[in-house]
Amino acid sequence: MSLITIESLHEQDPPAEGEEVIELPMAAEDRRRVRRRIRAPDGMEFVLRLPTGTKLMPGQALHRDTGRLYVVAAAPEDVIVIHPRDKTEAAKVGHLVGNLHRDIDCTEEAIVVLWDEPLQDRLQREGFVFERDRRPFHGNPTSGHSHS
C-alpha cells in the first residue's frame, strides 16, 4: 500500500453517498502531534506534515480516496467527569481547569477533563462531585494565552 503525505487540511465536506468513513482513533495528545506517521485500520499509511500549531479535531477529514474518507476520531482515554451542582460550582471548576491550562469538554450535564492524579486530588479537596471514566475525549483548549 502506498504512503500518503498530508501537508494541509481542506474543507470539511460531508461523506458522499456510499462513501466509506474510516476513523483514525487518536488520543488528545496525539491530535497535536502533526508531524508523524499513522496507519489506518484498513492498512493505509499517512505521513502527517502539517503546520506547527495545527490541532486535529474529531471529525476532521484527513484524506479522501476513491470511495473512502479518512477522518480523525477521539480515542478512549482516562478522564474525570465532573458533575457541578450549580452554575457557581461549574464556574469554579472552569476556573481551576483553565488555570491549569487543561483541555476541557463541557456539556449540559458535566465537565470532562483528561485524568491525572494531582487534578483528581485537587477536585477531592475542593469537594466537587466527580467520577473517573474511560471514554473518547473531545476536549478543546481552555485558552490561547500564557502567564509568561
> How far apart (Å, rounded) are the C-alpha atoms in residues 1 and 4?
9
List pLDDT tens digits, range 19-55: 999 999 999 999 999 999 999 999 999 999 999 989 9
Residues of the chain with CATH 2.60.260.20: 3-74
Question: Given this model, what pLDDT does residue 96 score?
Answer: 93
Beta strands in 10-75 (DSSP E): 20-26, 35-39, 45-49, 61-65, 68-74
For 142, the grid coordinates are 481552555
76-136 topology per CATH: Alpha-Beta Plaits (3.30.70)
What is the sign of the dihedral through the CA atoms of 21, 25, 31 and 33? Answer: negative
3-74 topology per CATH: HSP40/DNAj peptide-binding domain (2.60.260)
Question: Given this model, what pLDDT does residue 16 score?
Answer: 82
DSSP label of 52: T
pLDDT-derived band at 10, boundaries 50, 70, 90:
confident
pLDDT-derived band at 1, boundaries 50, 70, 90:
low
Question: Given this model, what pLDDT does residue 2 score?
Answer: 74
Question: Given this model, what pLDDT does residue 14 score?
Answer: 81
List pLDDT tens digits, range 74-114: 999 999 999 999 999 999 999 999 899 888 999 889 999 99
Residues of the chain with CATH 3.30.70.790: 76-136
pTM: 0.82
pLDDT-derived band at 148, boundaries 50, 70, 90:
very low
Amino acid letter for position 77? E
